[in-house]
Structure 1
Amino acid sequence: MIDNLDKVILRTLMDNARVSYADIAKNNRVSPATVHVRVEKMRKAGIIKGAKLKVDPRKLGFDVTCFIGIILKQAGDYPRALAKLEALSEVTEAFYTTGQYSIFIKVVVRNIDDLQRLLIERIQAIDEIQSTDTLISLQNPIMRDVGLDALGH
């Protein structure tokens, strides 16, 4: 399990993955080596899976984000459908879900015309897919990493 120092380290790195271990150490009155050891321990435990650069897709010309619920023809079609969806660069996330949809994906495209082409020519053309339901995002007012609040103080 992780202790309070681990939680502080995680919270700090989740806010800014570029902060130095020396700065974290100084703010928490421990040595940089202690921070390094703690981070490595959390990496080995699979708690920390890497550091990512966050990019604003709109600044790169990708103005449409949408979510597509996918109903498969058969439950056994999941692995093949997922492999085909994974090959589409516009698909940024995929979830295997319960309820109405078998798969729920997040898609980012430049415009509505690109979305229409993607849907008709590439997603709905996947043999294993029976039907889709598309929800277009108007804005993303809440965007945060899981864990910041859940870790406590």
Structure 2
Amino acid sequence: MTEIDDTDRAFLRALSADATLSAGELGRRFGLSQPAAWRRVKRLSDAGILAGRRVEIDHEALGFGVTVFLGVKLAAKGRVSLEDFERAVAAIPEVQLVHHVLGLYDYRLRIVARDLSDFERILRRRIMTLPGVGEVEANVLLSEERRPGPI
């Protein structure tokens, strides 16, 4: 495990809020030179703590007004490999996240859709036709109070 200090934690908080911050800007914010800030970011990246930079897309602004969390229980785990299901579900662009979980369901998917009828189309034509799909349970997102950030 890589040791991190308070400055590293501050960098992680700042980058999680705005992944486009340059090493120069990080240095100015936290009293370091640009090269020193760059070395810290590189060390965090090399250690796997910073695993990439992402842009947050506002799905609603693009016309995707419905987010659904879908629990999927595979019908027969022995007949269909988990890899076959994962490969097939990853090809559906509306599926934003695929989590293999323990519990009542085998997978938890985050799906975006234009509206409920669009979600029904995705469910009937795309999800229910995937290899091994048995039971599903849908939960529609009403609001999101907190977005993931650094620990």
Tell me whether the two structures share a fold, i.e. TM-score over 0.5: yes
Residue 89 (structure 1) aligned with residue 93 (structure 2): yes
Whole-Å separation in 2 of the counterparts to 1:26 and 1:123? 48
Residue identity in the other structure for 1:11: R
1:24 — aligned with what?
A: 26
- Name which of 59, 62, 65 aligns with 1:60: 62
Where structure 2 has 5 or more consecutive residues not aligned to the other structure, the ranges are: none
Offset, 1:99: 0.5
SS in 1 for 2:43: helix
What do the CA deviations read for 1:72-112 (whole angstroms, capped 9, x no partner)?
A: 12334311111110000000001000010001100001111
Residue identity in the other structure for 1:103: Y
- Name which of 137, 141, 149 aligns with 1:137: 141
TM-score (norm 1): 0.89
CA RMSD of aligned residues (A): 1.4
Whole-Å separation in 2 of the counterparts to 1:27 and 1:81? 46
What do the CA deviations read for 1:124-148 (whole angstroms, capped 9, x no partner)?
A: 1123111111111112122232x2x
2:10 — aligned with what?
A: 8
Is the CA contact 1:124–1:131 (under 8 Å) kept in the aligned structure 2?
no
Residue identity in the other structure for 1:133: E
SS in 2 for 1:75: coil
Residue 106 (structure 1) aligned with residue 110 (structure 2): yes
TM-score (norm 2): 0.90
Whole-Å separation in 2 of the counterparts to 1:20 and 1:126? 43
Identity of aligned residues (%): 26
Moved over 6 A (4+): none
Is the CA contact 1:92–1:108 (under 8 Å) kept in the aligned structure 2?
yes
